Amino acid sequence: MKKRKLVYISGPIYSSGVASKNMNKAIRVANELMEAGFCVYIPHLSVIWDAITPQPRSFWMKLDLWMIERSQIILRLDGYSEGAEEEIKHANSLKNDIKIYYDKKVLIKKENPIMDKGGNYEF
């Protein structure tokens, strides 16, 4: 069995639109990617963590940049986001080859997720 690729979901939380809608979108996209055979990291879920143990923005950005360094793919969701722009800039500065996509359908097609011989995704 092939190792699953880690996809980092990058996009706005508070900076554009409504935070709950942005979180909903990120989670739904992540779910589709999981069903397609990828492993995903959703930084939007830090909102819940932050509600329990509040941290400064720098704490969350440090965590997010660490996770980007471990990811093979970034999916950049639409919408203005200063944090997402920092994430893309950081990914581009790394020596490893992180692929950046702006469309989940293209990502799934090009990255050839884990499938069995019958065309089904393995879990």
Contact 88, 20 (CB under 8 A): no
Contact 30, 48 (CB under 8 A): no
**Encoded tokens for 109:** 């097609």
Closest CA to 34 of 67, 13, 6: 6
Mean pLDDT of 23-41: 94
Domains, the chain, with CATH or none: 6-111 (3.40.50.10400)
User: What are φ and ψ of residue 71, in 5° steps?
Assistant: -85, 155
Q: What's the confidence (pLDDT) of residue 58?
A: 96
Other C-beta atoms lying within 10 Å of the C-beta of residue 115:
13
Q: How many residues does the chain have?
A: 123
Q: Render pLDDT for 48-65 as a digit per residue (tens, 0 to 9).
A: 999 999 999 999 999 999
Q: Render pLDDT for 77-118 as a digit per residue (tens, 0 to 9).
A: 999 999 999 999 999 999 888 999 999 989 988 886 665 555
